[in-house]
Structure formats: C-alpha cells, structure tokens
Amino acid sequence: MAEITPARSNIREEETTYRAAVSEALLTKAGASINFINDFQYDQRSFQLNGSYALGLGQQGADQVIPLLFDCEIVGYSLWNGASGTSGQSTFDIHRLTGGDTDAGSIFSTRPEVDSTASDNTYSMYDFANATSVNLPTGFTHGVLITDGEKLDRGDSLRLDIDDAMPGASNAGVYIFIRPR
C-alpha cells in the first residue's frame, strides 16, 4: 500500500461543517498532514565547545550529557567548526548512556571529523533519515551511525567525547537532530 505524500494541508471549516460530506479529499488532506508531521517533526540537541576545546581531549562528557525524555531516533547531525587548528584533525564521538550510568558505546562506526584544511565558521550536515549529505565542505568527514545506533530509549542520554583535537582549534558544536518514535 502506498503512502500519502506528506504535505502541510490545512483543513478548512467548510470541509467539516455540520452535514458536510466527509470525502476522500478530506481524509487525503488529513493523511498528508499527519505524514508531514511524522516525517518532518524533529528536535535539536547540541554540544557546545567554547574556546580551546583541546583541554577536553580524553575527557568523557566534554560539554554535558543530554538526557532523553522519550523514545526517539537520530535523524541527522551537524558539526560546526569555529576556528581550525594548525594541523591534524579534531574527532568527536557521541556515546549512548543507558540506565543513567552504563556506557553503551559510540553511536558512530565512523566518527565525525574536521581537519586543519577546513575554513573557519563552516559546518557539515548529514540527514540519516534520507541517507543524504546536506553539506560537506572541504576538511570535514561525515560520521556514520552504527546499526540501530539511531534508536534511543526513554531515559538514555548522550555524551560528547573529544577523541582528537587540532592544536590551536577553538569553538565547535555538534548538533543532533532527533524525532519521537
């Protein structure tokens, strides 16, 4: 059975007034609106590294942990580079914590990176829901989720670790896009 194409379709008062016929058009419009919400609703969480983030190298939880109140899935991410360092690359990792304190490991099989060839104030972005690179400028490597790494449960949390940091690099952000499941 084919899905109704997602669309923002407002239902007009005339379509629902007393004694108005409930038509296929009205139900198609309602289905399109529901599918639009299901496909495009998301929330954003972020880790912000202000200043020289090399100080957080090897530290677990470089910014904070992000607790999740509901079952959700990761549908995308973005990596922002404030200022590139003089050489090498910065590698960021996000770990899933379950039960409040159990490290279930990385959500990535390939971790997102930015290297010293990247321009300052640039970002990469990947849409996991549609397996599409939205933006990949020079110097960035997209992260790849592990199998089912995008499925998160109520009570889980996410933690950012810095696996490698360019000397002299400063200001970065890792953004995770989630939606309820």
* Sequence spans of domains, the chain: 1-40, 43-180
pLDDT at 148: 62
The two structure tokens encoding residue 173? 């952000």
Distances (CA, A) of 24 to 3, 14, 29, 31, 39: 15, 15, 8, 10, 22
pLDDT at 88: 96
pTM of the model: 0.84
CA distance 113 to 94: 12
Q: Of 161, 152, 12, nearest to 75 (Cα)? A: 152
The two structure tokens encoding residue 165? 């940091």
CA distance 8 to 36: 6
CA distance 150 to 129: 10
Q: What is the CATH number of domain 43-180?
A: 2.60.120
pLDDT at 154: 93
**pLDDT tens, position by position, for the chain (181 residues)?**
888 888 888 888 777 777 777 777 778 888 888 888 888 888 899 999 999 988 777 778 888 899 999 999 999 999 999 999 999 999 999 999 998 789 999 999 999 999 999 999 999 999 998 899 999 999 999 999 997 657 899 999 999 999 999 999 999 999 999 998 8
132, burial (CB in 10 Å: exposed 0-12, middle 13-18, buried 19+): exposed
- DSSP line for 94-119: EEEEETTTEEEEESEEE--EEETTSP
pLDDT at 181: 85
pLDDT at 20: 72
